[in-house]
Amino acid sequence: MKIALAQLNYHIGNFESNTNKIIDCIQKAKLQNIDLVVFSELAVCGYPPRDFLNFDNFILKCIDSINIIASECNDIAAIIGSPYFNPELKGKRLYNSAFFLNNSKITDIRHKTLLPNYDVFDEYRYFEPNRNFKTIEYQGKRIAITICEDLWNISDDPLYIANPMDELIKQKPDFIINIAASPFNYKQAEVRKSILTANVKRYKIPLFYINHIGAQTELLFDGGSMAINKEGDIVEELKYFEEDFKIFELEKLYIHSYKSQGIRHKSEIGMIHDALVMGIKNYFFKLGFKSAVIGLSGGIDSAVTCALAVKALGKENVKGVLLPSKFSSEHSIKDAEILANNLGIPYEIISIEEAYNTFEKTLKSSFTGKSFDITEENIQARVRAVILMALSNKFGYILLNTSNKSEAAVGYGTLYGDMCGGISVLGDVYKTQVYELANFINSKEEIIPQNSITKPPSAELRPNQKDNDSLPEYEILDKILFQYIEMSLGPDEIIEMGFDEPTVYKVLKMVNASEWKRYQTPPILRVSPKAFGMGRRMPIAAKYLI
């Protein structure tokens, strides 16, 4: 049996595009005498559809797409994911389903059993879990069809009581197919491979795994679909961050115990780089945007964001704007100009001094007797945002936010100022990782000026300002933040690791006290196991550690 894995980039709710992509792959598979072509979880509508699932019209369009695709499945079979109505009155109104298409019709439907309801997942909000387990017979083979999470309950500390494959294996399936929507984080590829190979070693039959690629706003999907032989060796992986189509001969996964030549994986920071580039590119393409505008400060955050944007959109579609104030250093302006020239992007310089002076004059009587403080600093940041958004409105640019995760965590940013933007590129990248990204971008040639990397970071909103005037050194700050945000450790546990007690309490207080600010930030491209946004849900009006 020849089985093809079709790893595609879907667009949520774009039924025509998704359906056409799927049919194109089916036609391609037919020309190569493929017996079965496999597509990913919720492929017809894209993942995650979220509250679109509450609309009957949305579900009916999914089913219409399935029927159109089924009509193309003559002399070939296909497995494809879609939501489906639950015919029972009891329980949730929908299933997360895998449709088996053959002989130009829907011949079988299997439903997802384990519905994740943690981090970025909220499937139990919408779907009813499967309770009936049955393999599918095709060309004399029994297929155990599972959907993403159905294979993830195999650890020593299982999250669920049920394990679908423990039921399906009783029917002596010949192989497993897992259709998935597994979002990227920089640890996920290795965890995913470990989970999938563990399943094969437990059940002793081959496995075909198919994942999404592409960005759905903040969620990024990296692909990495694969075939695993009966001994648990990965025979081949599909590409990461790219669409791909690969054909496998089922019999070889039994006869030959050959291991993959392997995909040469990039470093962790290389994977983050590729994920962010894909995230920017897909956000613009799927929303019909073309060009970006970025405020260039001469600092490392705006430089890295700009370099990523150029990689994603092309230099002709990225506009840099330098917005110096009386506190801006000469070298910062020069660094920003060098960056723009290195990247070959158009840029202009717009001084904010006159606008800032006007605000000072306007507020003079109201501020009588008050000295310069954070208020005046924030006015400068907001003047810059007004100018950038004016350019956005006038010319159709989308403003890219350049704040990093360290800043977002502790509230080191100005709401309606430097926190503005259509999408946050670095909001899930700690400051220390931003430096790694800069060095990665510069690995072949100097694109980001070395001075932007080596100079002490500063917002330059007052004389001789440095970030460490307000914050611990980033090397310390980021380690504390990681333990609190990604690892969910409390203050006592972090202090026991050797961190200074007053520093720990100061940092955690800043994180919790800034929740109201983060609630108003742009969507953040997710690259870590725990990002701000849909995967981290904290109350705003709370008192814990504040």
Cβ-contact 230, 207 below 8 angstroms? no
Catalytic one of 21, 61, 112, 286: 112
Distances (CA, A) of 71 to 28, 65, 105, 113: 15, 10, 6, 28
Distances (CA, A) of 20 to 82, 179, 215, 393: 15, 19, 19, 34
Question: Does the annotation count 112 as an active-site position?
Answer: yes
d(CA 300, CA 128): 47
d(CA 33, CA 139): 14
φ, ψ at 237 (rounded to 5°):
-110, 145
Q: Helices 300-313 and 431-441: crossing angle, nearest 10°?
A: 50
Tokens at 377, concatenated: 């600093």
Catalytic one of 21, 25, 41, 306: 41
- Find all residues with CB under 8 Å of 515, minimum gap 6, and list them: 538, 539, 540, 542
Burial 323-332 (b: 16+ CB within 10 A, else e): bbbebbeeeb
Question: Does the annotation count 148 as an active-site position?
Answer: yes
Task: Quickly count: other Cβ atoms within 10 Å of residue 492's Cβ.
Answer: 9
d(CA 525, CA 271): 13
Cβ-contact 524, 429 below 8 angstroms? no
Q: Is 215 helix (H, G, I), strand (E, B) or coil?
A: strand
Catalytic one of 25, 45, 73, 148: 148
Cβ-contact 52, 94 below 8 angstroms? no
Active-site positions read 41, 112, 148
